[in-house]
Structure 1
Amino acid sequence: MTAPLITLTVRGEPAGQGNLKGTAGGKLRHANGRDLHDWRGRVRGAALDLLGAHEYAALGKSGVCALCSVPKTQHAELLGAVRLEAVVTVARPKTARSNWPITRSSSDWDHYGRAIGDALTGVTYLDDSQVVDGRCITTYPYVHELALGEPGAVIRLWAVT
């Protein structure tokens, strides 16, 4: 396999996206809203820093970025199909008997993947619908070859040709 075009290392407790709770007013919200917002911000910030990029800034209805004059439809690093692989390292509970997080104490792998995919929208790619090949691996520190020694994630992206 070829080397990834983008490799991000994000440190901090990962948060999954997917568990919704109803409010008294009938609206749905993420059960872990604050943690999810913080995690997506760290992922997005790591991508912006690595790429030396900025968020799209609307300039009225012109469809171009107010900061760089790039059209919104071109305002991302990868414009075609994308392969995304994320190795998400979660803290190992003292009671864990397995090498893999297979209890309800951690989020499901697809919840982590959705949070990462949404966080990178508009920075590494225009929309997470461009991810045609996605893989998310959850692990404890040092178990997987790309696992970190602390909670966080290693995210790798390739252009699909």
Structure 2
Amino acid sequence: MNGPALILTVHGTPGPQGSKTRNAAGALYESSAKVKPWREAVKQVAVDALTHDDAWKPLDEPVHLEVVFTLRRPKSHYGTGRNAGVLKGSAPVFPTGKPDLDKLLRSTQDALKDAGVLLDDSVVTATTATKTYVYTGRDALSHPGAVIRVRRLNNPSKESES
């Protein structure tokens, strides 16, 4: 696998895209109010990064997308009173609740397509995705957001030899 074609660090609360809800008039809208701001944040960071690369064209080849989503711990993970701010021993190491990882990926991939990183999200043929809490692991941020790596799976030097 080649080195990353693009590395992005996005700040903001990751928003899942998936379930839709109908309003009284019958129009569909996203169930999560966080999806639109998240997609805009990802798109803006990607567009900003691509403005420095005049030769960039949306990737239309097999891509490996690696994303580490950093989520804020719920207040219930911390003690109260004199233990306020101290993580409880019973607090889980990994976020197993909502948002669903596949729905976070869906919103992120769509934003990368909208920004011109990917020609279509169908070019993503491999993914590595992780949900983590702030400060708890590789690529975990100090606040909610994500570190995104986009890698080309084709090896240009091998393709030119054949």
**Aligned partners of 2:119 and 2:57: how far apart in 1?**
6
2:83 is aligned to: none
Identity of aligned residues (%): 36
Please give the TM-score of this superposition, normalised by the length of structure 2: 0.78
The question of 1:137 aligning with 2:130 is answered: yes
**Aligned partners of 2:9 and 2:113: how far apart in 1?**
17
Please give the TM-score of this superposition, normalised by the length of structure 1: 0.79
**Aligned partners of 2:125 and 2:57: how far apart in 1?**
17
Name structure 2 gaps, 5 residues minimum.
78-90, 155-162
The alignment yields a C-alpha RMSD, in angstroms, of: 2.2
Q: Check conservation: 2:2, 2:152, Cα contact below 8 A.
A: no
More helix, by proportion: 2
Deviations along 1:96-147, one digit per CA (max 9) or x if unpaired, are 31011112xx310011100000000041111101101122211101212111
The question of 1:80 aligning with 2:74 is answered: no
1:118 is aligned to: 110
Answer with 1 or 2: which has the greater Rg: 2
**Aligned partners of 1:10 and 1:159: how far apart in 2?**
20
The question of 1:93 aligning with 2:85 is answered: no
**Aligned partners of 1:153 and 1:98: how far apart in 2?**
20
Count of equivalent residues: 140
Name structure 1 gaps, 5 residues minimum.
55-67, 69-74
Deviation, 1:25, is: 2.7
Residue type at the aligned position of 2:123:
Q
Q: Check conservation: 1:112, 1:136, Cα contact below 8 A.
A: no
